[in-house]
Structure formats: C-alpha cells, structure tokens
C-alpha cells in the first residue's frame, strides 16, 4: 500500500468506522487459515449456546494463530489506522451454516480495532457481516444494542453490507454497530476474527493485585508482632 492509499484508507476508516481491503491475503492463504482453524477446533466439545458457532482463543489451540494475531500482515495497517499500537486480545473462528446462528446488532468494546478475514464467499444470503457506517461516532444512540436481542436495522440508511470473497478483510472499530443475519442459503460461511481491544481483564487483575498486596502486607505486619 502506498502513502496516498494509506491516507485514503485512514480517512474512510475515521469517517465510517469500517473499511474493506480486497484480496488482503491470497485465496491459498485463506484456505490454509481455514484448514488450520478447522483442525484446531475439531475435537472441541459441541456447544449448545446461541453463539456455538464462535470459537475464541484460537491462539491457545495453535501457535500459528498467536503469530497471526501478534505479527500478521494486518498489524502495521491497524497501527496506521489507529495511530497507536494495536493491542491483541484473541483470534476467533466464526462459522455459520445453520439458520439460527444469527448475531444481532451490537458493539464489542469502546476502543481498539477488530478484523474479520473472509474464508468463504459471504454476503447477505449466507449471513455475512452488516455494519452501520459512522455509528462509532454515535455511541449514545446505539448503547442499548445487544448481540442476543433482535433489533431490525435492515432499512437503516447507513447500513453497509460487507459482501466478501475468501482473502478479503474487513477492519472495523469495535463500537461500529455490526451484526450478521440468518444463513438463508445454508452455504458454509467461515471467517477469522481478531480482536485488538487490549486485555479486557486488566482492570479486574489490577483490583486482584491490590487485594493480594494488601493481604500480604497484613500478613507481614501480623508476623512482625
Ligand atoms: O461473524 C459473525 O457472524 C459476527 C461477527 C461479530 O459479531 C464480531 O466480530 O463481533
């Protein structure tokens, strides 16, 4: 990507909160990612929750995904778009081949960035990703949305369908409202998702660290008596 392409991409990303780069990886690479994700998840127990089609933590199942999450070709682009370091959280495999695997409009987090690399053809018919352009700048208006609660935004004037082919990547702000509808035609729709929203447990850990330090101090004080 040359300088003027990078400037244009950043302008779109800042305005819309979502951009697509076509053929970001080759079809062969997309096939390889898909094969590894299938292999890494094949022995996991079957889940029956509404998001059973989402497997997070691929980086713990196969180091290949750790490498991709931390040092994949998307990382410099994400840092250019964010203007700061992209803080990796997890890599996930999102599949969809049944009607009920629908994710309703929602935001993921307030800061950071998310990627989704298409591993199959994906469009509105098989439950591809949909976005509301510019919604990352209207957080209050969309704060109430939840991924498990239906909200019909299909006629919203800012709706944007991320129709993609294997190897395309969509990059979005975690607070750009997004969703994926039912899979009407039943064709397999798989994608690799990586979250860069830092460590969601950091605050919790800090709190625990403080408790632990306080307990240690109290113990030392008791021992000194
Ligand atoms: O892949 C999907 O169907 C939904 C993706 C999504 O909601 C997300 O990346 O947060």
Q: Which residue has the higher pLDDT, 190 or 52?
A: 190
User: What is the reported pLDDT for 3?
Assistant: 92
Domain count of the fold of the chain: 1
From 109, 116, 149, 196, give the residue whose CB has the most ligand 1 atoms within 8 Å, as the site to mutate. Answer: 116
How confident is the model over 64-91, as pLDDT tens digits? 999 999 999 999 999 999 999 999 999 9
Q: Is 164 in the pocket of ligand 1 (CB under 6 A)?
A: no
Residues, the chain, total? 225
CATH number of the CATH domain containing 50: 2.60.120.620
Q: Which of 93, 104, 118, 127 is nearest to 195 (CA)?
A: 93
How confident is the model over 180-216, as pLDDT tens digits? 999 999 899 999 999 999 876 564 445 544 554 555 4
From 95, 103, 109, 117, give the residue whose CB has the most ligand 1 atoms within 8 Å, as the site to mutate. Answer: 103
Q: Which domain holds residue 195?
A: 3-224
Mean pLDDT of the 26-32 span: 98
Q: Would the pTM count as exceeding 0.85?
A: yes
**pLDDT-derived band at 223, boundaries 50, 70, 90:** very low
**pLDDT-derived band at 225, boundaries 50, 70, 90:** low
Q: Compute the distance from residue 5 Cα to the ligand 1 centre, in Å.
A: 27
Ligand 1 atom with the shortest distance to the CA of 174: 10
Contact call for residues 19 and 9 (beta carbons, < 8 A): yes
Burial classification of residue 109, based on how many CB atoms lie within 10 Å of its CB (0-12 exposed, 13-18 middle, 19 or more buried): middle
How confident is the model over 110-161, as pLDDT tens digits? 899 999 999 999 998 999 999 999 999 998 999 999 999 999 999 999 999 9
């Amino acid at each position: 990507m040359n300088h003027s392409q990078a400037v244009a991409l950043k302008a779109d990303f800042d305005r819309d909160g979502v951009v697509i780069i076509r053929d970001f990886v080759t079809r062969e690479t997309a096939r390889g990612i898909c094969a590894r994700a299938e292999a890494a998840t094949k022995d996991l127990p079957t889940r029956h929750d509404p998001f059973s089609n989402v497997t997070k933590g691929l980086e713990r199942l196969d180091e290949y995904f750790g490498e991709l999450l931390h040092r994949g070709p998307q990382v410099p682009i994400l840092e250019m778009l964010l203007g700061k370091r992209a803080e990796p959280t997890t890599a996930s495999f999102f599949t969809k081949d049944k009607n009920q695997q629908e994710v309703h409009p929602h935001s993921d987090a307030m800061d950071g960035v998310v990627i989704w690399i298409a591993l199959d053809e994906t469009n509105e018919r098989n439950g591809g990703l949909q976005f509301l352009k510019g919604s990352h700048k209207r957080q209050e208006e969309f704060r109430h949305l939840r991924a498990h609660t239906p909200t019909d935004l299909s006629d919203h004037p800012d709706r944007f369908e991320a129709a993609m082919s294997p190897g395309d990547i969509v990059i979005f702000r975690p607070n750009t409202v997004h969703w994926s509808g039912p899979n009407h035609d039943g064709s397999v729709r798989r994608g690799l998702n990586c979250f860069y929203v830092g460590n969601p447990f950091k605050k919790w850990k800090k709190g625990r660290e403080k408790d632990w330090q306080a307990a240690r101090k109290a113990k030392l004080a008791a021992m000194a008596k």
